[in-house]
Structures are given as structure tokens and as C-alpha cells.
């Protein structure tokens, strides 16, 4: 029971920390967790918390990271002797003929053979030694440490060996999994060092770095990108479902017999009041205009995923991508699987003549397409950062678009404080928009999408 009490205290602490990081776990769920632990015993701790507290991937991921961070903080550092042994072992590992061997790549190979705790301690001793030379955000620091380990060279060699059949599929996947463990260890160690040595505010540091819903699009790692992508797909489907059942009443409607009878019951069966059906409102017609220039590539990827996931439910969505010239991609979205459609957009260059965003020209060309788009009945959604590369904004063309379309909404991946910096012309465009949303991360995007009516 003593151990259970300790576990319970740990659960409460982690639940509180999760809440501080804006990931909510209800008191009733925590109570369920306690009941579950009492019923199944503390040896089933993992099963119980997964069943009662961690009901989606974001919560699961964050929980285990926090748990790892706690155990890392309790883990004793290597003694000098042990550290020396580590270096020798690393050198031995590096001496073998393995992909990426030579230099620090040997360390990485050595780590791939170690236990979890040993990886943590090894990474900790290695990273702590060079910590003062690291700069930037934790994401950038992780990249710098990975460079030290010759990470990308090892990865490329691994891919090559897989493609040429030198290693089996099983070994490839296994090594990739181990690399992910090492990457997690590097990240955790850096978080710990940032907290300890730079005296960062723990909540803000973790919120910025670990809550994928709060993390800026450009800071997402590959694994986090997949997580957020799944969230975006679900968000799109939620939106599609929400709009699928919109009705309104109108004057000329069909008389519904069953509700009329029901009403008549109140008057001894006399149908005094006729009940008329509700008229289904046409789903809003949407025209989406997505900037696919390099500066917004990550965000656009997610927005296109969002558009794709609800376009399959709407028949009246027209999608365009642009850099300096709009190109329609509606057909690709309707006919191809998501990945293939995105790939096709990436490989296409028709939307980029000069390679630089030119909103003025895009507005001008969209005006030429207005009649073909049934603009009077459509909402235009622009997804872009409004960075115009110092070119003419051609506000007259945006004004024409405003008159043509029913509404114009703008989703900007930049935080609002950056809307007037450098070549970003958002404040110039604002008077012609019905609404503009700053969407620097998933949470902001979900909030903006939820607010659309």
C-alpha cells in the first residue's frame, strides 16, 4: 500500500503538470485511475493509466515524456571512472565497420546497443560536456547534438543499405526504432539541462517544447508532424460533420405528416397546425487559396491536409495553390489519396514562375476567375503569411475580390505580433477581409476553425 501511495502521489503530480501544460485530465478520470489501480493492483499501473487517463496520442506522448524526465532527474550521473569506460566502449563500437563509423558516429552505434538507462546517462555525460557551446531553442540544440553524433550520415547510410538489400527490413526498422529512443534521450537531457543550467521557467519551457498542439509549425519534429497531421485530419472531419446537418426553416416547405399528427393529438386529433419540414441549407461554397512558398511550407502542408479531409465531404470546395500564380488542384484532392495529392503539388512548379510570393498578381489572376467560381455564393479562404517580397500589393485587386466573394477569411501562420514586420503586409490587407486568424500552432488553428460560421 505504501508503494501505491507513492504511485498515487506521482500520478497526481503528473496530472497537475499536464493541466499546467494545457492538456486537461478531469478529476473523474483521476478517480477512475485510483479505482482501477485498487482493482487491478499496482503491477498493472501502465494498463490502468492508459485506460483511464491517456485517451489520445497527445496525452500519451506527453505523459511518458514527463515520466521520463522525472526518472532522468533522479538518475545518478556517471562517475569519472564510468565516463572513461563509456568513452572506451564508444571508441570500440566506432572501430567496427558500420554505417557512418569514424568520428563521433561510433558513439551513435555504441548507443544503439545500450539499455535505456545507459543511453540516458551516456547522452547526459556527452551533452553536458558540450552544453555551453549549444545555442538556440531546444529543437535547434537537438539538431546540433545530432550533428555531433553524425546522425544524418548514419541515417543516409542505413537508407542506402536498405535500398540495396544489404540489411533486412526487420533490421532496418529495428535500428530506426533505436534511433528514435536515442533522439528522445537527447531531447530529454537537453530539456533537463535547460531547466537546470539556464533556469528556464519549467512550465513555459515544456509547453513550448512538448505540447505539440502549442508548438509552432516550424519547430515540429518528424514524429510530431505525424501526430499533428492526424489531429488536423480529425479536425477536418469534425468540421465536415458539423456542417453536414445544417437546416433552416423557410416558407415553402413540405408538410410532414408524422409531426402534424403529433401536434394534432393536443387538439383531440384535429390537425389545427400543420408542421412543415426544415429546409436543408446548401453547404457553404468554399474557395481555398493556399500559399505554397517555402516560408509557409510546413503550415501549408497542414492546411492542405485540413482542406483535403473536409473536401471529401463537400462537393463545393475549389482549391488553388500559388506562389506567384494560382493553379487549381481541386481534381487532385478529389481523385487522389492525400499523400499522393500533396506529393503532386510539391512536384508541380506551374504555380511558381519567379519563385517568390506575389500576392498582387495572385489577386489579379483570381479576379479573372471570379465568374467561373460562382464567387457571389462562395467564401474565399486565403492561407498565407502575407509576405510579399517587397512587390506591389495591388490592393485594388483585393478590394475587387472582396466585392466579388461573399466573405474573405485569412489564415496566417505568423503570430499576430509579426504581421507588420519586414515584408509582411497583413495590416494593409486587413481592411478588405472579413476575418483574419493568426494560426502559429495547432491549437490556434483549431480555435480559428471552430469559430468559422
Partner 1 sequence: MQVTPDNLKREFLEKGYWLNEEAAKVLYLAILMEKPLLVEGPAGTGKTMLGEVLAGVMGSDLIRLQCYEGIDESKALFEWDYARQLLYIQSVGSGRWEELEAEIYSEKFLLPRPLLKAITSQQKATLIIDEIDKSDEEFESLLLELLSQWQVSIPQLGTVYAATVPYVIITSNNQRRLSEALKRRCLYLYLDYPQLAEELAAVRCHIPEIEEQFAVKLLQFVQRVRRRELIKPPGTAETIDWIKAIRRLDEDDEESMKTALAALLKEQKDLEKVKSDWKRLWG
The one segment of 30-38, 135-143, 356-364, 413-421 that binds partner 1 by CB under 8 A: 30-38
Q: Which of 52, 311, 388, 441 binds partner 1 (CB under 8 A)?
A: 52
Contact pick of 337, 372, 422, 453 for partner 1 (by CB under 8 A): 337
Structural Rg of the chain based on CA atoms = 28
Q: Is 222 in the site for partner 1 (CB under 8 A)?
A: no
Asked if 335 is part of the footprint of partner 1 (rule: CB under 8 A), the reply reads: no
In terms of CB distance, is 43 or 80 closer to partner 1? 43
Output DSSP code: residue 56.
Answer: S
Is position 24 an interface residue for partner 1 (rule: CB under 8 A)?
A: yes
Among residues 19, 147, 242, 344, the one that binds partner 1 under rule CB under 8 A: 242
Site of grid cell 533486412: 168
End-to-end CA distance of the chain: 53
272 binds partner 1 (CB under 8 A): no
User: Which three cell numbers mark 277?
Assistant: 419540414
* Residues 285-324 interacting with partner 1 (rule: CB under 8 A): none
d(CA 356, CA 387): 9
Q: Does 32 bind partner 1 (CB under 8 A)?
A: yes
Q: Which is nearer to partner 1, 24 or 294 (CB)?
A: 24
| Residue 71 in contact with partner 1, rule: CB under 8 A | no
Assess 262 for contact with partner 1 (CB under 8 A). Answer: yes
> Binding to partner 1 by residue 39, rule CB under 8 A?
yes
Is-contact 426 452, C-beta < 8 A?
A: no
Total residues contacting partner 1 by CB under 8 A comes to 40
Work out whether 268 is an interface residue with partner 1 (CB under 8 A): yes
* All three cell numbers of 353: 514562375
Task: Kindly list the distances between the CA atom of residue 184 and the CA atoms of 125, 253, 393, in Å, as whole numbers in the listed order.
Answer: 15, 61, 45
In angstroms, give the least distance from the CB of 40 to partner 1. 6
Inter-helix orientation angle 2-20/27-40, to 10°: 150
User: What is the three-state SS of 240-284?
Assistant: HHHHHCCEECCCCCCECHHHHHHHHHCCCCCCCCCCECCEECCCC
| Residue 165 touches partner 1, criterion: CB under 8 A | yes
Cβ proximity to partner 1, 273 vs 294, nearer residue: 273
Using the structure block, give the residue that is written with the C-alpha cell 501511495.
Answer: 5
Cell 458539423 belongs to residue:
242
Query: What Cα–Cα distance (Å) separates residue 199 from each residue in 134, 141, 204, 207?
Result: 15, 16, 12, 15
Min dist CB 131 to partner 1, Å, is 37
- The contact set with partner 1 (CB under 8 A) reads 24, 26, 28-29, 32, 35-36, 39-40, 44, 47-48, 50-52, 54-56, 165, 168-169, 173, 231, 234-235, 237-238, 241-242, 244-245, 258, 261-262, 264-265, 268-269, 337, 339
Amino acid at each position: 500500500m505504501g508503494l501505491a501511495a507513492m504511485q498515487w502521489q506521482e500520478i497526481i503530480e503528473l496530472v497537475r503538470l499536464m493541466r499546467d501544460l494545457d492538456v486537461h485530465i478531469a478529476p473523474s478520470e483521476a478517480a477512475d485511475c485510483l479505482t482501477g489501480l485498487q482493482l487491478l493492483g499496482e503491477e498493472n499501473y501502465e494498463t490502468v493509466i492508459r485506460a483511464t487517463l491517456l485517451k489520445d496520442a497527445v496525452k500519451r506522448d506527453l505523459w511518458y515524456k514527463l515520466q521520463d524526465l522525472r526518472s532522468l532527474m533522479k538518475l545518478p550521473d556517471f562517475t569519472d571512472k564510468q565516463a572513461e569506460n563509456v568513452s572506451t566502449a564508444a571508441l570500440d563500437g566506432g572501430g567496427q565497420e558500420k554505417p557512418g563509423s569514424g568520428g563521433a558516429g561510433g558513439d551513435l552505434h555504441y548507443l544503439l546497443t545500450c539499455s535505456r538507462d545507459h543511453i540516458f546517462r551516456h547522452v547526459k555525460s556527452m551533452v553536458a560536456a558540450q552544453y555551453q557551446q549549444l545555442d538556440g531553442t531546444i529543437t535547434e540544440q537537438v539538431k546540433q547534438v545530432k550533428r555531433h553524433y553524425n546522425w544524418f550520415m548514419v541515417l543516409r547510410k542505413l537508407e542506402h543499405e536498405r535500398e540495396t538489400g544489404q540489411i533486412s527490413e526487420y533490421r532496418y526498422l529495428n535500428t530506426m526504432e533505436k534511433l528514435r529512443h536515442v533522439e528522445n534521450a537527447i531531447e530529454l537531457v537537453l530539456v533537463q539541462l535547460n531547466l537546470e543550467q539556464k533556469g528556464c521557467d519549467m512550465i513555459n519551457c515544456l509547453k513550448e517544447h512538448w505540447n505539440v498542439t502549442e508548438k509552432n509549425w516550424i519547430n515540429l519534429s518528424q514524429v510530431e508532424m505525424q501526430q499533428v497531421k492526424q489531429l488536423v485530419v480529425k479536425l477536418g472531419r469534425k468540421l465536415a460533420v458539423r456542417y453536414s446537418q445544417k437546416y433552416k426553416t423557410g416558407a415553402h416547405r413540405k408538410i410532414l405528416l408524422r409531426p402534424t399528427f403529433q401536434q394534432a393529438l393536443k387538439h383531440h386529433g384535429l390537425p389545427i397546425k400543420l408542421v412543415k419540414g426544415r429546409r436543408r441549407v446548401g453547404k457553404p461554397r468554399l474557395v481555398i487559396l493556399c500559399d505554397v512558398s517555402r516560408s509557409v511550407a510546413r503550415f501549408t502542408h497542414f492546411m492542405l491536409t485540413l482542406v483535403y479531409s473536409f473536401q471529401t465531404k463537400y462537393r463545393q470546395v475549389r482549391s488553388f495553390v500559388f506562389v506567384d500564380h494560382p493553379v487549381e488542384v481541386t481534381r487532385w484532392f478529389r481523385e487522389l489519396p492525400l499523400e499522393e495529392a500533396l506529393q503532386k503539388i510539391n512536384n508541380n512548379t506551374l504555380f511558381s514562375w519567379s519563385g517568390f510570393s506575389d500576392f498582387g498578381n495572385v489577386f489579379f489572376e483570381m479576379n479573372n476567375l471570379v465568374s467561373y467560381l460562382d464567387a457571389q455564393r462562395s467564401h474565399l479562404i486565403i492561407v498565407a503569411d502575407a509576405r510579399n517580397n517587397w512587390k506591389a500589393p495591388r490592393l485594388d485587386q483585393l478590394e475587387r475580390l472582396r466585392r466579388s466573394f461573399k466573405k474573405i477569411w485569412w489564415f496566417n501562420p505568423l503570430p499576430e505580433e509579426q504581421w507588420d514586420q519586414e515584408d509582411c503586409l497583413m495590416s494593409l490587407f486587413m481592411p478588405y477581409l472579413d476575418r483574419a486568424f493568426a494560426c502559429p500552432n495547432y491549437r490556434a488553428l483549431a480555435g480559428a476553425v471552430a469559430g468559422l460560421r
